[in-house]
Structure formats: structure tokens, C-alpha cells
Amino acid sequence: MQVSVVNGALDSVKTDVLVAPVFEDGFDADPFLSDLDARLDGALTAALSSADVSSKLHRASSVLSLGKLPVRRVLLVGAGKQAEWDAKRARTTAGTAIRHLKSSGQAAATLYVPPAGDLVASAAAAVHGAVLADFSVAQYKTRGEDETEFQHLQLLVAGAPQDLTTVTQKSRVIGDAANLARSLANEPGNKLTPTIFAQRAQEVADAHGLGCEILDEAELERRGYGAILGTSRGSDEPARMVTLRYRAEDESAPTLGLVGKGITFDSGGISIKPAERMHLMKTDMSGAAAVLGAMQAIAQLRPSVNVVAVLCLAENLPGPTAMKPGDILTAGNGETIEIINTDAEGRLVLADGLVHAKSEGATHLVDVATLTGACVVALGTTNTGVFGSSQPWTDALLEAARHTGEAMWQMPVGAEYRERMNSDIADIANAGGREGGACTAAAFLQDFAGDSPWIHLDIAGTARNDRDLPYVSKGPTGVAVATLTQLAQTVGERGVPVEQ
Ligand code: BES
Ligand code: MN
Ligand code: ZN
């Protein structure tokens, strides 16, 4: 999607469709909308009072301009109360408009962004929402549902306090990166194996000038990465560990380490999962997809920070050589792990991924994983669980999340959770019982992060959206792409936070 911005009056645009938000409580405060209403002989006012053409939130309806305007039709999108207008509303309103336009084959439009609230933030969010709305999960449908790709979005603003080109292009880059993560997460296990995922990562790296190294099983063996190898042993598909590298112009900048869980299918292994909803475990690589998406965005936005990303790719199946409960694995740092439950495989691949990121020079770590059902029970599907060993580092991430509109909530870590992971015969066990399952999983990972400031994002609940919404389709969400990218930018601008 191409994005451009016009700062001016309605007559300065030439467009087929103009999208305008309508507020339930009128639009007197907005001269652009009142002028539009007047020129349409009160059509907006009529829309507010009519039952079918409603101003209800996220309802869209068209008004033909019949030659009264330089545009052919106006798409009104219900935007709620005017006082509630903010970046989030701008995002969902724009998304609603794009989904509506796409369903009628329209591939270009001009979107008016009202100056209420923070116009810069609203414009950025509107572009983000529009790009996310231009995504389809129907890539394997061979009949019908011919969705046109949206080609050109023009933002129309009045009295912008600054040039909006940079912020809107940044939103487009981040939205495209989230859509890359979503399309990967939408791929089934037979179409996206660890080997194919690694190739996709190589393609992204080649297209955007990132370094890329793919470790195969022989290389993983040589490095002693027994935790990821143990996880993939039950599958004929070999594991891969991919290292992507982005270098800042200033080589002395700190090095951010992003580590993603990339289980291309999680059957649970010998501790097999129930059949119901098991097919959704094709999305168990959403963490690795988010990290790859963030790297694509970082390569385009070029922040002043070095980034090393590690994708931990494996398939968890109960084949004849699969790891068994009771087995002992040795991770890359020499730590021994007793397998209590083969379905707790994400923490195994991440253990080696965290060790590898550190050996590749990462000083500040963030891992992203669809790690535990317990996190879904604790936080539901709206908030990502955030665990951190350093409060200043965690605060930096939470601020980046707020900035991008991704809901994240901090969860506890500590020695009590780590004790639950004690093993009678090895250094650590891979499962610690039902209680506090998201926190004990985080405690496991913290062992492998060691002394480095580390954050763990549990996206088990937020990586997928179960409902088709007016502004975003059902399916993978691309969560964490925006926050990770923003975090890299913040660190690039301000450096890493000082540890207390
Ligand atoms: N991939 C799952 C976690 C998951 C559950 C993601 C639901 C998305 C939605 C993970 O590998 C897993 O199976 N975790 C176990 C851990 C347990 C065995 C300690 C779980 O949460 O039940
Ligand atoms: Mn599992
Ligand atoms: Zn899993």
C-alpha cells in the first residue's frame, strides 16, 4: 500500500472516495466536517439521525456526492463520541474503512483525519490500522473471495503541526512487517517447516540488507545446542536456528538481542495435546515471525542500535525417536534439563536461542513466544504477558508498547517461581506444575538469560484473534512487531536504560 499525506482543504484532493469519521454527538467542533455536511446538503446530519445509516462505532455507509464535491462518494465510518477520539479510534476507524472498501473492490481512497487529540499520533495510527486491514487469511482459497489489494491511501489533514510523511511511512513499514508475521503464522505446518521458514528469513535478509546465518542440525550439535535438538528429534523435519544481524552506523552502539519461539507445529510430542484446537498450533511460531517482522522494519527504519535476532525453528512431534518424559537434555550453556512434559518445548528451544544471542554479542535480551496456556488463563487474549529481570529495561519495553498501542501487562518473576522448576536429578526441570504456569515458564528462561537484562513476552493469548472484527480480520495478529521495532528505535535515540 502506498501512503501519502495532503495537508489542506477538500478541494485540494482529487479522489474517488473520501472517508470521513462521523461522531455520534455531531461534528460542530470540526470545521472540515461541518463544511462537508453543508456541501452535501446536510447528508452527515441526516446520517446521525437515520436508523440504517448509523453513526454507531465501526459501522460504515456510503453517501453519493452527486456532483456536489470533487469526490464521487463519501464513506462515513462511525467513530463514537468526539471526546473519545484518540490514536486507537483512528486505527480502528481507518481499518474499518479499508476492510469495507476492499470488500467492494475499491483500491484507493482519501481518509480525513480530524485534528481532535494528538493529530500526529492519530495519523500514524490510522496508517497502521489501514495496513493491518489490508490483509487476508484466504491465501489457500482457490474459488471466490477475490480480494483486491489496496493500492493507495491518501491522508487528508487540516493544520498539521509538522510534516507527517516520516511518521506515516514508519507506520506503513511497521504495518507491512506485522503483515509479514501474520502471513507466516497463517501458514500451516506442511507449508512452513523449519527449513522453509529459514529460507523465508534468508529472503527477508537479502531483500533488506541484513546479515543472515542458518545453523543446521550438524552445526547445532557442534555447538552443544541439545535443547532445540531434543525438541525436534521426534520429527523428520530438521531444526534450524537462524541468526539475523542489523548493524548500526555507529558500531559501538549497544546490541539488542531478539529471540523468537518458532515451533512450526506443536503437537505436544509424547505428552500429546488433545485433538480439539490442535490445528491452531500451526501458529506456535508466532514469536519467531514477530522477530523476523521486526527485523524487516528495523532494516528499513535504520535505528542507531545493533540488533541480533535468533529464530529457534523446530517441529514438536511424537515420532519414534522423540524425546520422552524423564529424558535429560543439555543446553548450549552446559545446563542439564529434565524433561517432565514434552509439551513444554518452547522454553527448550528458547534456552538455546538465548544462549546463542548472548554468544553473538547481545547485551539486552527480549524473547517472544506463544509459551503457555497459563498466560491465556491469567490475562485472556487482550494483554501480552511481560516478564523482566531488570525494571528499567522492562519499563523501556512497556513504554514502547504503550506508544504503539499494543496492550501489555507486567507479570512477576522471582526465586519462588524458579524453585518450582527444581529437578531431583538435573539442574532444572522443564515443567513446574499448573500453579503460576506462565511465571514458572519465565523463571526457566531467566536461567538461560543469566545476568543480561532480559524480557520475556508471552504472546500465547495475543498472537491470534478468534473473532472477525470490522477493522481487522480473524487470525494471526502480528503482535509484538510494533513494540519490538519501537523499542529498537527508542534505544537508538536514548541508549539503553541505566541499571539501578
Ligand atoms: N504452545 C503451547 C502454549 C500455547 C497454548 C500457545 C495455547 C497458544 C495457545 C506450549 O508449547 C505448551 O504446550 N505449553 C504447555 C506447558 C505445560 C506443559 C507446562 C501449556 O501451556 O499447557
Ligand atoms: Mn507445547
Ligand atoms: Zn508450544
What is the per-residue pLDDT for 54? 63
Tell me the torsion sign for CA atoms 390, 393, 399, 401: negative
pTM: 0.97
Tell me the torsion sign for CA atoms 63, 68, 72, 78: negative
Domain count, the chain: 2
pLDDT tens for 319-337 read: 999 999 999 999 999 999 9
* Average pLDDT score over residue span 374-393: 98
Shared domain check, 289 and 392? yes
Residue-range definition of the domain harbouring residue 264 = 174-494
In a domain, 308, yes or no: yes
Across 49-63, 115-129, 347-361, least confident range: 49-63
Residue 139, all three cell numbers: 491465501
Shared domain check, 211 and 72? no
Shared domain check, 185 and 154? no
Does residue 193 register a pLDDT over 80? yes
Residue 379: give its domain's CATH number: 3.40.630.10
Provide CB contacts within 8 A for 212, sequence distance 6+: 201, 202, 205, 206, 242, 243, 244, 245
- Residue whose CA is at the smallest distance from ligand 1 atom 14: 372
**Pure H helices in 74-113:** 87-103
In a domain, 499, yes or no: no
**Alpha-carbon gap, residue 466 to 481, rounded angstroms:** 19
**Alpha-carbon gap, residue 58 to 52, rounded angstroms:** 13
Atom of ligand 1 nearest to the CA of 263: 1
Shared domain check, 190 and 136? no
Candidate list 347, 358, 418, 464, residue with the active-site label = 347
Quick check: CB of 315 below 6 Å from ligand 1? no
What is the per-residue pLDDT for 415? 97
Percentage, residues of the chain above pLDDT 90: 83
Per the annotation, the verdict on 282 as an active-site residue is no
Across 150-164, 219-233, 387-401, least confident range: 150-164
In a domain, 438, yes or no: yes
| Domain final residue pick, 158, 193, 228 | 158
Shared domain check, 200 and 154? no
Beta strands in 34-157 (DSSP E): 60-64, 73-78, 108-112, 152-157
Quick check: CB of 458 below 6 Å from ligand 1? no
Does residue 230 register a pLDDT over 90? yes
Does residue 378 register a pLDDT over 80? yes
pLDDT tens for 132-178 read: 999 999 889 988 766 778 999 999 998 888 999 999 999 999 999 99
| Domain final residue pick, 125, 158, 191 | 158
Shared domain check, 446 and 389? yes
* Average pLDDT score over residue span 460-464: 98
What is the number of the ligand closest to the CA of 375? 1
Provide the 8-state DSSP code for 383: -
In a domain, 34, yes or no: yes
What is the per-residue pLDDT for 146? 66
Per the annotation, the verdict on 273 as an active-site residue is yes
Atom of ligand 1 nearest to the CA of 281: 1
